[in-house]
Structure 1
Amino acid sequence: MNRTLQPGQRSEVWIASVTGQAELLYSTDEILLEAPNWTADQSPDGSALILNGDGKLWRLDVASRELTHIPLTGIPDLNNDHVLAPDGKNIFLSANDGHIYRAPLTGGHAERITEDDGSWHFLHGVSPDGAELAYVGIADGDFSQPGRLLTIKSDGGAAAGVDVGPGHCDGPEYSPDGKWLYLNTESFSSVKGHAQLARIRVDGTGFEQLLESDTVDWFPHLSPDAQYASYIRFPSGTEGHPADLPVAVVLVPTGDWRTPLHTWPLFGGQGTLNVNSWSPDSGRFAFVAYPLTDSPKD
């Protein structure tokens, strides 16, 4: 079922800068927008954000602040796991039937990539050469079981597992050089739900924790130049990545994950920062807040 706004709630799409500034780009009380990607088309710093909402795909022009629907066929309603292909022409999408698809970024027919292998597939990363996808598999769609890190060729085929321990993992995403997968995992803690940030080489070696914290940390996203990372911080004791909580979006230098450069507290969680939302020039990234207070309309 597609997520909807609560009475009195808004979707606010923000753009944050590595200098610490933040700008409200778009606000609406009509649709629950989630998980921005930043396009690399038409200008050096990207021209638009791609989001999902109401099971559909949307394009938000950064200059005009106009939101337009991207029509897709051959695919069920979408969830908030989508990543742009490196060629700038296609997008990979997770849908509510548990499968991963590829579709033209301008709209059109979507083709299914994953097979009926008994698992649900939640996409999060595409390799820099566009040849491979990283996703989380949930066996039999049983969400009481931990998610497993898997990779698959971007044109389909058999999946390959990457061992990151027994704990639930999520958000696997390739580093810009294609050598690492960054993710969050519960494998470093015996406390249920205590996700921490980690990475592992694509060959399955070098699994390491990036940050040890008392908070529940999800979805590490590296900037294209690999100098910065954003992630979302949930309160201690949170299980999963639920919606409608006081959370924080955090910016760190990748050379020191323990020392935030800037932090943006907000009301949100699910949908705020599920996918990589960095601009192509590595200077800005986008996130979504869901305040229950009245905010000025765009």
Structure 2
Amino acid sequence: MKTLQEHLKHADRGVKSFLESVDVTTGERQVLAEFDYLIEAPNWTKDGKRLIYNSGGLLCSFDLSSRESTVIHSGFANRCNNDHVLSPDDTQIAVSHHSQEDGQSRIYILPLAGGDQPTLITEHAPSYLHGWSPDGSTLSYCAERNGQYDIYTIPAAGGAETQLTDTPGLDDGPEYSPDNRHIWFNSTRSGLMQVWRMNADGSEQTQMTYDESNSWFPHVSPDGESVAYITYRKGDVAPGDHPANKNVEIRLMASGGGQYRTLAELFGGQGTINVNSWSPDSKQLAFVSYQLKSYAVGS
């Protein structure tokens, strides 16, 4: 039987990854595990027992009790990025997989327990997954069509895609609210990357943050009360970029909008919280921080 390291032979070895959790009330952080390679984007399962992350193009399951990881068999989908999303009943996982034929990202679904033949959902590419509606019927994603990145939805069973945004600028990170009424996303349409919210049908697109920062990937807590997102300092990145290896903040605000508070400061960015990483009781967030092996953070 192959070891985890043998499975992850394509994992980036230039960084150390720290899988962490933070208490959203107290701000207390806990390192759950350290990895001598790149891991990204933890999803918390609905039973609260596991975190799903990606590394080296594969999906892995981290058991919170044993603190051990196992690879989820995903068949030909072995070039997955950090856009994976769990189905509402935790039986399936949707992924963005880069085809070996053309290198483009398309969305597939496979059993969370693993499977040999992931099901293709989006024929058009590139398509980058971000959300699965609470009723299980629909996926939301960012896609480039005709040179423009916008937000689309598609039936989880496959079918025709529906375009929800068409404003100039990058729209990305669409994720459903727990009540199925809204899709949260981030957009550069006002200059800097900011957090926005719209109705699930694309109407009433409303700016929710007005920070002098670039804000990405809003994630609504399971109880619908709070929204976590990640911010880059203005000037550190272009508004349309979310690179790795930057000093960033995880911020928290009420789902109705208003003032934010900083939950954590860390070295990270790409891979830290690309997906919804709330615990099912809405009390904690999981995330990944990093350290370059050639650079001691804080020195």
Same fold (TM over 0.5): yes
CA drift at 1:112 = 2.9
Say whether the 8 Å CA contact 1:99–1:112 is kept in structure 2.
no
Q: Which amino acid aligns with 1:241?
A: H
Q: Determine helix, strand or coil for the equivalent of 1:79.
A: coil
Q: Which residue of 2 aligns with 1:120?
A: 126
Q: 1:90-118 CA deviation, whole Å, 9 max, x = no partner?
A: 1011111211111111111243333433x
Q: Determine helix, strand or coil for the equivalent of 2:276.
A: coil
Question: How far apart, CA to CA, are the structure 1 residues paired with 2:149 and 2:117?
Answer: 25
Q: Which amino acid aligns with 1:70?
A: I
Q: 1:244-273 CA deviation, whole Å, 9 max, x = no partner?
A: 11111112222444231x431111110001
Q: Which residue of 2 aligns with 1:137?
A: 143
Q: Which amino acid aligns with 2:273?
A: L
Counterparts of 1:3-18 in structure 2, within 5 Å, are 4-6=12-14, 9-18=15-24
Question: How far apart, CA to CA, are the structure 2 residues paired with 1:212 and 1:33?
Answer: 31
Say whether the 8 Å CA contact 1:186–1:196 is kept in structure 2.
yes
Q: Which residue of 1 aligns with 2:279?
A: 279
Q: Which residue of 2 aligns with 1:69?
A: 71
Q: What is the number of equivalent residue pairs in this alignment? A: 277
Say whether the 8 Å CA contact 2:82–2:271 is kept in structure 1.
yes
Q: Which residue of 2 aligns with 1:56?
A: 58
Structure 1 residues 132 and 242, CA, compared in 2 at 3 Å: closer, same or farther?
Answer: same
* Identical positions, percent: 39
Q: Which residue of 1 aligns with 2:43?
A: 37
Stretches (4+) displaced over 4 A: none
Gaps of 5+ in 2: 1-9, 100-104
CA drift at 1:21 = 1.2
Question: How far apart, CA to CA, are the structure 2 residues paired with 1:259 and 1:246?
Answer: 18
Q: Root-mean-square deviation (CA), in Å?
A: 1.7
Q: Which amino acid aligns with 2:217?
A: F
Name which structure has the greater RCO, CA cutoff 8 Å, separation 6+: 1
Question: How far apart, CA to CA, are the structure 1 residues paired with 2:127 and 2:111?
Answer: 20
Q: Which residue of 2 aligns with 1:246?
A: 247
Q: Which amino acid aligns with 2:202?
A: G
Structure 1 residues 258 and 146, CA, compared in 2 at 3 Å: closer, same or farther?
Answer: farther
Q: Determine helix, strand or coil for the equivalent of 2:230.
A: strand
State the TM-score, normalizing by the size of structure 2. Answer: 0.88
Q: Determine helix, strand or coil for the equivalent of 1:290.
A: strand
CA drift at 1:164 = 5.2
Question: How far apart, CA to CA, are the structure 1 residues paired with 2:38 and 2:263?
Answer: 23
Q: Which amino acid aligns with 2:133?
A: S
CA drift at 1:171 = 0.6
Gaps of 5+ in 1: none
Q: Determine helix, strand or coil for the equivalent of 1:147.
A: strand
CA drift at 1:294 = 6.4
Q: 1:212-243 CA deviation, whole Å, 9 max, x = no partner?
A: 01100000000000111110011113121011
Q: Which residue of 2 aligns with 1:151?
A: 153
Aligned partner (choices 137, 155, 162) of residue 160 of structure 1 = 162
